[in-house]
Amino acid sequence: MAIQRVVIKNYRALKTADVVFNEGVNVVVGDNEAGKSTLLEAINLALRGQLNRRAIQYELHPFLINVDAVSQFIEAHRQGNPTAPPEISIEVFLADTPDVAALRGSNNSEKADACGVSLSIRLDEAFQAEFASYVANPAALNSVPIEYYKVVWESFAGASLSVQSMPLKTA
């Protein structure tokens, strides 16, 4: 299995990232705190559904969301121009091989027919009323209500994923 491309939005230090990998060995370099480890962590998160060796559902906290995205969300509400809460999106595009054929589909941000997986952390529609109450007083708003978020982990085919159903192993 070869990773061809990773597209990340609002994950930790990475507000946006679109990384294309070459066949063979790839070297990721950059300054301290540039997002090198975050890139690898995001790939592992999308392929395993885990953070710190625990299911991501149990590791959710507001600091997973890019600080600039959170600041823009808060500022927009304080300015009277409320925006949707920021979401995390991680897409991993894989080389088309028989062992990942079940992951093929167009359920990705580009609607491209490809093999891959996506993991998003976004507001759970079931908590719309609670969210509305949370943002009702913009002056008191200082974070995102991560307790109203959900994790959606799917193949590009649109199938929900679990650790048991994932045809890949990572190291």
Compute the distance between CA of residue 56 and CA of residue 10 in angstroms, rounded to an integer: 16
pLDDT digits (tens, 9 = 90+) for 99-123: 999 999 999 999 999 999 999 999 9
Q: How far is 54 from 20, CA to CA, in rounded Å?
A: 28
Confidence (pTM): 0.95
Interval 37-46: pLDDT, tens: 999 999 999 9
